[in-house]
Chains A and B, each alone.
Chain A
Amino acid sequence: MDKYQCGVCGHIYDPVIGEPTLSIVSGIDFSDITGTFNCPVCGAEKSMFTKV
């Protein structure tokens, strides 16, 4: 599973950690996140993330 970085603020989504502030548990691939996802730091849309 890959990490994804927000193109706006640089925040990194790490599937090993998940996104605790958005109640996304560890082990979920970025592409498998369902529903609306906005960067927890700056609010940018999911489309602003790219694989790192």
Chain B
Amino acid sequence: MAVREVVPGVQWVGSIDWDRKVFDELIPLPHGTSYNAYLVKGTEKTALIDTVDPKKEFELVANLISSSVDRIDYLIVNHAEQDHSGSLPMLLELFPMAKVVTNEKCCEFLKKFHEIEESCCHIIKDGDTLDLGGATLEFIITPWVHWPETMVTYLREKKILFSCDLFGSHLATSDLFVIDENTTYTAAKRYYAEIMMPFRNSIKGHLERLDNYEINIIAPSHGPLYDRPGLIIDAYRDWTGDHVKNEAIILYVSMHGSTEKMVAHLTDALIKREIPVKVLNLGVCDTGEISVSLVDAATIILATPTVLFGPHPLMVYAAYLANLIRPKAKFGTVIGSYAWGGKTIDTLKGMLNHLTLEFLTPIYIQGTPDITAFQALDKLADAVEQKHKNLV
């Protein structure tokens, strides 16, 4: 793997994982990913900021060799998750004098995950600095940017923010810096939806704090670096802000076609009312597509038939996912069809208890939709239109 210079004194020594297709056995990676590690050389000391997934640790070591590194004084750990901290045990074998520099909470995690001895750790607090000799690292503790121990590191002299998972994207690319802004925006939004969305309110606060820093480069731990940081900072402001888009998302699954007919009618009714709508068939859409669709839509409509006594299991999965990642949608409802019974509506409402949704009148019918059902769907489209008109 080729070592790349970010700026003089700062090198990218990470790994590009072109082959990886799924993360956590949960998140599809249509474009692979990267694990970015950064070597910062001062006149006195050398620091490595984050490591790589342990399956790529030999690439990291090869990069350090080709960078002519004969010592590492500090191993900075912004986040304890294994795709960033997992190569620590090997690095500590190679560089036994190195100190693991991180916050107290992260140190606790590292002890549990990698059996790192506390004596190897140099605990820092929010705002602490580390002088490498002409290169000053400032640590900014940003809890709940994925995990409770997360922090970011700022290199004052070069105005680089090493943001770890924050502002990241699962994108394997040979571009060190973002060149294709559209591709990166899409990948970063998907990443935000999957990883960051539950922490929207924490991130909003951290963005305000980062406003106080002059940032020339954002160097995340996944995906390309931003030498025009406004691109990703503005996007995060938009995604984490309370404003929702005039858009309805219909997540649906159908068994014998009745729910599908209802979805088709409602979709047309929304389009006629000039309400942007996205329709996702849960039978073919993956977790990433579902998650990213929910980032900023005003309305979420769950359309499912009843299987035996409750919602179709694919809808149960989607509702559980939505309740975990907690999109900021303001309105929601359930539509669909049953054969002979069940309590699908109550089950799904209960599953979305972490969302702050105003529930619109559900439309749940027996068998195939008739003219009465279609009229009810038209009324639902009217209600969505009315609600969206009142959006600030």
User: A residues touching B (Cβ–Cβ < 8 Å)?
Assistant: 5, 7-12, 42-44, 48, 52
Contact = CB atoms under 8 A, between A and B. Distances in A.
B332 interface: no
Contacts of B199: 8
Given A43-B148, A44-B144, A44-B148, A8 B202 contact: yes
A42 B199 CA distance: 12
B209 to A, nearest CB: 16
Given A43-B148, A44-B144, A44-B148, A12 B353 contact: yes
B353 A7 contact: no
Interface in B167-204: 198-199, 201-202
B354 A10 contact: yes
A37 to B, nearest CB: 15
Contacts of A10: 198, 323-324, 326, 353-354
A5 B354 contact: yes
Interface in B306-348: 323-324, 326
Contacts of B375: none
Given A9-B354, A12-B353, 12 more contacts: A8-B148, A8-B198, A8-B202, A10-B198, A10-B324, A10-B326, A10-B354, A11-B354, A43-B148, A44-B148, A48-B144, A52-B356
A48 B86 CA distance: 30
Contacts of B356: 52
A4 B201 CA distance: 15
Contact of B198 (A9, A12, A48): A9
Interface residues of B, number: 12
A42 B324 CA distance: 12
Give the one of B199, B202, B354 with max A CB within 10 A: B354
A14 to B, nearest CB: 10
A11 B324 CA distance: 10
Contact of B201 (A7, A42, A43): A7
Nearest to A11: B354
A10 B323 CA distance: 8
Interface of B: 144, 148, 198-199, 201-202, 323-324, 326, 353-354, 356
15 contacts: A7-B202, A8-B144, A8-B148, A8-B198, A8-B199, A9-B198, A10-B324, A10-B326, A10-B353, A10-B354, A12-B354, A42-B148, A43-B148, A48-B202, A52-B356
Nearest to A8: B144
A5 B324 CA distance: 14
Contacts of B202: 7-8, 48
B217 to A, nearest CB: 29
B329 to A, nearest CB: 14
A44 B149 CA distance: 11
A20 B354 CA distance: 19
A26 to B, nearest CB: 18
Contacts of A7: 201-202
Contacts of A48: 144, 202
A12 B356 CA distance: 12
A48 B389 CA distance: 32
A25 B128 CA distance: 41
Contacts of A9: 198, 354
Contacts of B354: 5, 9-12
B353 to A, nearest CB: 7
Contacts of B324: 10
B347 to A, nearest CB: 18
A11 to B, nearest CB: 8
A18 to B, nearest CB: 17
Contacts of B326: 10
Nearest to A7: B201
A5 B323 CA distance: 13
B332 to A, nearest CB: 15
A5 B356 CA distance: 10
Nearest to A9: B198
